[in-house]
Amino acid sequence: MGAHDVAVLGVGMHPWGKWGRNFVEYGIAAARDALDDAGLAWTDVQFVSGADTMRNGYPGYVAGATFSQALGWQGAPVASSYAACASGATALEVARTRILAGLCDVALVVGADTTPKGFLAPVAGERGDDPDWLRFRLLGATNPTYFAFYARRRMDLYGATRADFARVKVKNAAHGLSNPYARYRKAVTEEEVMASPVVSDPLRLLDICATSDGAAAVVISSLDFAARHGAGSPVRVAAVSTVTPRFPNTVIEMPNFSTDSSLAVAAPDLPFRDSIAAAAYEQAGLGPADLDLAEVYDLSTALELDWYENIGLCGPGEAEKLLRDGATTLGGRVPVNPSGGLACFGEAVPAQALAQVCEVTWQLRGRAGDRQVDGARTGLTVNQGLFGHGSCVILTR
């Protein structure tokens, strides 16, 4: 048990889909489920940490207060966090830090989103000094364009094939079949993936995640509070990493289209994405060999393969073999995305890092149903937010 551990008392989600309703409705449903799971009343909560959505106006920018108002003002302090796709983990870290500082005993963390149809895009307006605006308006580079660049990089560096990418989708689709919160619950074949329409070569429609509505919530507490409330052996948050890149960053990261030169200053020992999990391992006193499962940020099938290497499951260029050998499938050495991942959920940006925490919590409790990883005791979540937001959470039991 680490000195920085906090207990996960409750988790809750609203099913992912395209529901067309206010994002607050989803967040409140997830929050109430998490509170019920924790056996607590809303009035027991001493701090609320909200993950912001930028697409839903002022209420989305102040998510902590928005969810608190919807649940019924009760005086708890609030915070709101925005870190793009890492927002949920950032909000979790704010709550964890407050508990570890002794400023509260129990906190509620909530993220929810309602997404527009089609690709995610910058907010409206003319902003010539905004690289995210520039890459859309001047280059027409939607997110799948980046996913395709990373896919082509794997093909050029390591010999990955379209069939390898398709295998990732087949695996995740099979995992998500029994997940009641997943939007897509349908088995697919490699042939179906490779026959789906090309979106950004070499990636096809079934290689790329959708945009979705959804929500997730987590109730965390000090270990003393958990013990007082009868949680004798709770799932624990052992580490949260929210690192940023180091200069020079020699691998392209969204939304940039250039890298830093390492001519005068040597590149860091670890590139950005490798450093995200590395910081969490150091904090938790654990390593890749300790993992029983992982939830990784599969914006595309090819990107999931990158994450195998980034979190240390294998060396560079070895991800395809790990996949082909079945090591990352349920029943394998380290199942990856037993929830079905974004392949089955789609992106609900402020909620997805928290959804990963929910899944790992269910797995460590042994309550994941047909997608249960046998004997799971340690799990990792990892993703990455626009503009250099790292996100990794390690949970143990």
- Residue spans of the domains in the chain: they are 6-118+213-236, 131-202+238-396
Span 128-153, average pLDDT: 91
* Confidence at residue 106, expressed as pLDDT on a 0 to 100 scale: 98
More confident residue, 52 or 132: 52
| pLDDT one-digit tens code per residue, 320-357 | 999 999 999 999 999 999 999 999 999 999 999 999 99
Q: Out of 3.30.300.30, 3.40.1390.10, 3.30.70.260, 3.40.47.10, which CATH number does the structure's domain 6-118+213-236 have?
A: 3.40.47.10
Span 113-121, average pLDDT: 88
- Residue 232: pLDDT band by 50, 70, 90 thresholds? confident
DSSP sequence for 214-244: EEEEEEEE-HHHHHHTT-SS-EEEEEEE---
Span 39-52, average pLDDT: 98
- Residue 1: pLDDT band by 50, 70, 90 thresholds? low
Share of the chain above pLDDT 70, in %: 100
Distance, CA of 4 to CA of 22 (rounded, Å) = 36
97: three-class secondary structure by DSSP: helix
| pLDDT one-digit tens code per residue, 162-186 | 999 999 999 999 999 999 999 999 9
> In sequence order, what E strands does the chain have?
6-17, 48-51, 78-81, 106-113, 198-200, 203-204, 213-221, 235-241, 293-296, 378-385, 389-396
111: number of CA atoms within 13 Å, CB side? 31
6-118+213-236 with 131-202+238-396: one CATH topology? yes
* Confidence at residue 128, expressed as pLDDT on a 0 to 100 scale: 87
The conformation of residue 118, written as its DSSP 8-state character, comes to S
* Confidence at residue 257, expressed as pLDDT on a 0 to 100 scale: 85
* Confidence at residue 26, expressed as pLDDT on a 0 to 100 scale: 98
* pLDDT of 42 above 80: yes
* Confidence at residue 140, expressed as pLDDT on a 0 to 100 scale: 87
* Confidence at residue 2, expressed as pLDDT on a 0 to 100 scale: 73
Span 36-64, average pLDDT: 96
- Residue 273: pLDDT band by 50, 70, 90 thresholds? very high
Q: Kindly report the average pLDDT of the chain as a whole number.
A: 96
DSSP sequence for 152-198: HHHHHHH---HHHHHHHHHHHHHHHTT-TT-S------HHHHHHSPE
Distance, CA of 328 to CA of 17 (rounded, Å) = 26
Nearest to 113 by CA among 48, 49, 57: 57
* pLDDT of 385 above 80: yes
Which CATH homologous superfamily contains domain 131-202+238-396? Answer: Thiolase/Chalcone synthase (3.40.47.10)
* Confidence at residue 112, expressed as pLDDT on a 0 to 100 scale: 98
* Confidence at residue 82, expressed as pLDDT on a 0 to 100 scale: 96
| pLDDT one-digit tens code per residue, 85-108 | 999 999 999 999 999 999 999 999
- Residue 25: pLDDT band by 50, 70, 90 thresholds? very high
* Confidence at residue 139, expressed as pLDDT on a 0 to 100 scale: 85
* Confidence at residue 34, expressed as pLDDT on a 0 to 100 scale: 98
